[in-house]
Copies of this chain bind each other. A is one copy, B any other.
Amino acid sequence: MDLSFLHIIEVLGTFSFAVSGASFAMEKKLDPFGVLILSFVTAIGGGTLRDVMIGNLPVGWLRDETATTIIFTGALGTLLFDKYLKKLTTTLFLFDALGLGLFTLVGIEKAIQLNFSIGVCIALGTITASFGGVIRDVLLNNVPLVFRKEIYALASIIGGLVYFILKETNLDSDLSTIICILLIFIIRIVAVKFKISLPLFYTKLNK
């Protein structure tokens, strides 16, 4: 895996989540500083949790100002171009879905470099992609979206499984990465478009 390629998808994922976080904060009428913090937390929360748990310290964004710069740009852009974004709910949703795909693969590949088992790699990919949003929702006092709505983290898990299946083939590693990012992106879009959620296969009468 070319490191610079991993870096590019990380930059794109960071921007996607920064815009998504800023939009959520603006819907809750937070002041511009709150918008910036929420943008920040959404974009770096998952990666920070992953870095902390694997002991990759100081965590990434403290050592490399790229992420901070991207988030600042994304948050400021969202604040300034808000009136256009209102008509662009779809765009925002697409950014979030793209971030989901991008960060899942960033997480998986960082975990592979540390020789974790396949299960742990997929778990770390899912955490990287989902927990920024979880922290965002907790700070905004919502039950996290990932627990309530259409298939979200499951898309990460499926994408991660396919990545490890593709690794067994002769497919170019960068190509596999792109395929899995797109797969997660598409699963998420299809799930929301057709309102596909997991069935509550346990009895609903419980209390």
Contact = CB atoms under 8 A, between A and B. Distances in A.
Contacts of A54: 57-59, 62
A185 B142 CA distance: 32
Contact of A58 (B53, B80, B82): B53
Most buried by B among A57, A142, A144, A202: A202
A82 B25 CA distance: 36
Contact of A82 (B123, B199, B206): B206
A29 interface: yes
A53 B142 CA distance: 25
Interface string A105-133: 00000000010110110011000000000
A91 B154 CA distance: 31
A96 B108 CA distance: 33
A141 B143 contact: yes
A161 interface: no
Contacts of A33: 147, 151, 153-154, 198
A8 interface: no
Contacts of A86: 203, 205-207
Of A120, A141, A147, most buried by chain B (CB within 10 Å of CB) is A147
Contacts of A82: 202-203, 206
A30 to B, nearest CB: 5
B65 A119 contact: yes
A201 B35 CA distance: 11
Given A33-B198, A52-B57, 5 more contacts: A26-B206, A31-B147, A32-B202, A37-B146, A139-B147
10 contacts: A27-B206, A33-B154, A37-B146, A37-B147, A37-B153, A54-B59, A58-B114, A134-B139, A138-B139, A140-B143
Give 3 nearest A-B pairs by CB, closest first. Answer: A55-B57, A34-B147, A31-B198
